Structure 1
Amino acid sequence: MKPCKTSFQSPFAAHIEAFITQKRAFGYSYSAEEHQLRRFDVFCVEQKITEPTLTKELTKQWIEKRAREAAKSQHLRCSAIRQFALFLSSCGLEAYVLPVRKNTVSQSYAPYIFAAEELKAIFHATDQMTPCTISPFIHEVMPMIIRLLYGCGLRSGEACHLKKCDVSLDDGMLTILNAKNEKDRLVPMSDSLADRCRAYSKRMGLLCPDTAYFFPNKYGGCVETFTIYSWFRRFLFEAGIPHRGRGKGPRVHDLRHTFAVHSLRKMAKDGMDLYCAIPVLSMYLGHENISVTEKYLRMTATVHPEILEQLQRVYGNMLPADLEVEQ
């Protein structure tokens, strides 16, 4: 467990430390939230707060939107102070709990869930690539990396930074290191995807033998995420899938969303208890906590209504309507 620093100075100091320690004991990284609580601690000192009482007035002052502050940053401050207030209340202290607000940031984009035929068309478009002098390996890299993004639900950065030593071709296992939320994890591939990786590795061993990266660029470093983004737009066009404009997608990250939704559908179809399925999927995707994975339930129910009854039976109405989707 990563210990929090002990430099808090306000009357809330001991409670902030205990709160962060509790969160990390539950498996949360809580780095960004710790940063916000440090700023809140300084704010309380500047406001000459003398008692550990989180009043409505103090909370409103703290969450007031700052000049040139992004809505996402303000949302993070609101979320952190609300969770801290709940912690204080659980300790028997007086605390104003900020009501849950609709996250307008997350509502600006609705994830696109690809149909099976659309995925086939995208894969076909990648397979039509030919060598070019500007990027001599791209015709090998893109078909494999796009399949891996969907087949394993990886984030683009995770796939780009895979090294050869992170890909076990013998047992079809990926080792994802230093991913989002400072998490490492093992990701097994399907047999068919592992077979493709083995064939790809043999070809790349001839084309680019000296690089340490599984998906190299022409300089021997790793392929960049912006390269994937630019090619993906082309694949969508060639697959006949309309792009709805900047910020509206479909995006590369929607391959990960699609993997999660399709995985839940398959587990439900196979008769797996969804109460057990969600934690398994959460570990596979490398989510910080299970609540992030649960947000895929609504997407699954929307795209595949045939399993809505199972989802409601397991989780009831615990999911809010304004779910924030992982970015």
Structure 2
Amino acid sequence: MRKTTIGEKIDGFIAYKRSLGYVYDTAERYLKHYQRHMEERYPHLDLPDKESTDCFLDQYKGQAGGLYNAMAPLREFSRYLFRLGYMNPYLIPPKQMPKLHPEAPYFFSEDELSLFFRKCDSYYAENPGPRMRGIIMPALFRVLYCCGLRPKEARMLPYGNVNLAGKYIDILQSKGPKSRRIFISDELVSYLMLYDSQVSAMLPEREYFFPADIDKPYSVQALCYNFGLIWKKAFPEWSGKMPRIYDLRHHFAWAAINRWAREGTDVNAMLPYLMRYMGHNCIKHTLYYFRFVPDFYADYKQLSCRLNDRIPEVSDE
């Protein structure tokens, strides 16, 4: 009986993960890098071993994010091989997994966001660029801001998943086999209807709601480039930390929580709704996005003063 190659095993594993509902695009990219590494340097092996795996991971030293993204699917791949009955495929020890320290988000002020969107509209009106970029980017940035989507969820959003008549967007199989329906405001619906009519006139059969072409979405690099471009246009003398496009998602979360606190709404009662809207599977993941920012200090002080009379004075004796 012919032995299956490492490439065939990897293909089977990716197919298995996708059968469970996982998108698995990033993991597939790293596994295919690993496959090429094995075929070029260890063609005699049909299972991972320590030497070949360590050699592959050496190229990611000093890159915590890249090393983690390479290790995680390789560990899952070895577990998969164990379950199929293969003997002793090398399993990367969990203690070798790098600790990730997410970059602190930038906290936008409302004035900064207002100026950003004004510059976004004016710049693209004067410099529309290729493939309707001048129409698409302002709309895409507004959806990220208004809905707190992950950048990938917005740029990869299929056209058929946006129902403007029903005032909702379906996010399917994002970050694992999780899907959700998010409802959007009347103001955003009106804006997107005008946007849709303009883009549909040019690309009536487009696959994506924010298309780079009829069947292609914008890349993450293009999205980040355009966001940075507009930020620098809005703030030409900027010398501080450059915001990231993902910081719009952070802003959506803490702005919602801060608004509820100011309005006297029970934040604990609202958190499950925010968790579901943002596509999290537990509240602690939602709270990760929440920060007390300078704009909220005055409101927080006022709210905390309401509790002063519940704490008795302590005598000096």
TM-score when normalising by structure 1: 0.60
| Residue equivalent to 2:245 | 252
For the 8 Å contact 2:106–2:243, the answer to whether it is kept is yes
Cα deviation, 1:161-211, whole Å, max 9, x if unaligned, reads 112211111121000011113210111112111111111111111121121
Residues 219 and 269 from structure 1, CA distance in 2 versus in 1: closer, same or farther, beyond 3 angstroms?
same
User: Which residue is equivalent to 1:237?
Assistant: 232
Question: Where do 5+ consecutive residues of structure 2 fail to align?
Answer: 1-26, 28-48, 50-56, 76-93, 307-317
Q: 1:305: which partner in 2?
A: 297
Q: Does 1:271 align with 2:267?
A: no
Displacement of 1:281: 0.9
Paired-residue identity, %: 28
Q: Hey, what does 1:318 align to over in structure 2?
A: none
In structure 1, the residue matched to 2:120 is 126
1:152 aligns with 2:181: no
* Partner SS for 1:118: helix
Task: Please give the residue correspondences for 1:89-168 in structure 2 after superposition, counting only pairs within 5 Å.
Answer: 105-106=101-102, 109-128=103-122, 129-130=124-125, 135-168=130-163
Distance in 1 (alpha carbons) for counterparts of 2:113 and 2:173: 29
Shift of 1:145: 0.3
The equivalent position to 1:192 in structure 2, one of 187, 192, 210, is 187
Task: State the 1:140 CA deviation.
Answer: 0.6
Task: Give distance in 1, aligned partners of 2:236 and 2:288.
Answer: 25
What TM-score comes out, normalization by structure 2 length?
Answer: 0.62
CA distance change for structure 1 residues 168 and 74 in 2, over 3 Å: closer, same or farther? closer
Shift of 1:125: 1.8
Task: Label 1:74 to 1:228 Cα distance change in 2 as closer, same or farther (>3 A).
Answer: closer
Q: Secondary structure at the match of 2:243?
A: coil
SS in 2 for 1:136: coil
CA shift for structure 1 position 286: 0.5
1:251 aligns to what SS in structure 2? coil
> Which residue of 275, 284, 287 maps to 1:282?
275
CA 209–268 in structure 1, closer or farther in 2 if over 3 Å, else same: same
Aligned to 1:218: 213
Matched, 1:292 2:285: yes
- Residue 220 of structure 1 and its aligned partner are, at CA, apart by 3.5
Max Rg structure: 2
1:138-166 alpha-carbon deviations (Å, 9 max, x no partner): 01100100000010001111001112211
How far has the Cα of 1:223 moved from its partner? 2.0
Alpha-carbon shift at residue 289 of structure 1 (Å)? 1.7
Separation in 2, partners of 1:301, 1:133? 35
Q: Structure 1 residue 262 and structure 2 residue 255: aligned?
A: yes
Report the secondary structure of 2:182's partner residue: strand
Question: Which stretch has the larger CA shift, 227-236 or 181-190?
Answer: 181-190
**CA–CA distance in structure 2, aligned partners of residues 224 and 131 of structure 1:** 23
5 Å-filtered alignment, 1:169-184, equals 169-184=164-179
**Separation (CA, whole Å) in 2 of partners of 1:158 and 1:242:** 32
- What is aligned with 1:227? 222
Say if 1:70 and 1:143 are closer, same or farther in 2 by CA, change over 3 A: closer
- Taking the aligned partners of 2:206 and 2:114, their CA distance within structure 1 comes to 30
Aligned equivalents of 1:139 and 1:305: distance in 2? 38
Structure 2 distance, partners of 1:141, 1:271, is 37
Letter in 1 for 2:159: K
Any unmatched runs of 5+ in structure 1? 1-31, 33-45, 47-65, 81-97, 314-327
Structure 1 residue 104, shift from structure 2 partner:
6.3
Q: Give the 3 Å change call, closer, same or farther, for CA 241–174 of structure 1 in structure 2.
A: farther
